[in-house]
């Protein structure tokens, strides 16, 4: 399997961040507690954002200082290793407050490289 480069990892981050945002449109915090498929989908999308972020090279991360790399990767680690300790209020805060700024930063980084 070929190794992906930073541009492809950033594109994955953008795609999955957009996916998390899209499935969250029209939803409320309560849906994380009551809609299992929504909760699973959003958490999985955030996990992929974090995994892709973890695979961006240190040089690639340095080129994009406005992206909160440690927080994104830390969330991925929490999802994978502390799945039973996930705070849905934190997840909702990410959906509500953090996804759009992340998407904006990723769009600036990815757009020049996408056709």
Residue 71: burial class (beta carbons within 10 Å; 0-12, 13-18, 19+): middle
Q: Which of 27, 81, 88, 114 is catalytic?
A: 81
Whether 76 is a known active-site residue: answer yes
Whether 18 is a known active-site residue: answer no
Task: List, in sequence order, the alpha helices (H) in 1-115.
Answer: 6-24, 29-34, 36-55, 58-62, 69-81, 88-93, 99-110
Q: Which of 9, 76, 78, 88 is catalytic?
A: 76
CA neighbor of 24 nearest in space, from 45, 43, 36, 42: 42
Q: What number of other Cβ atoms are within 10 A of residue 43's Cβ?
A: 17
The CB-side HSE value for 68 (13 A sphere, CA atoms) comes to 12
Catalytic residue numbers, as ranges: 76, 81
């Amino acid at each position: 399997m070929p190794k992906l480069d930073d541009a492809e990892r950033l594109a994955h981050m953008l795609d999955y961040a957009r996916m998390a945002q899209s499935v969250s449109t029209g939803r409320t915090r309560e849906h994380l507690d009551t809609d299992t498929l929504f909760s699973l989908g959003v958490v999985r999308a955030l996990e992929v954002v974090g995994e892709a972020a973890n695979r961006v090279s240190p040089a690639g991360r340095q080129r994009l200082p406005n992206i909160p790399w440690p927080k994104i990767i830390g969330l991925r680690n929490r999802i994978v290793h502390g799945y039973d300790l996930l705070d849905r209020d934190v997840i909702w805060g990410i959906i509500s407050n953090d996804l759009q700024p992340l998407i904006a930063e990723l769009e600036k980084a990815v757009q020049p490289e996408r056709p």
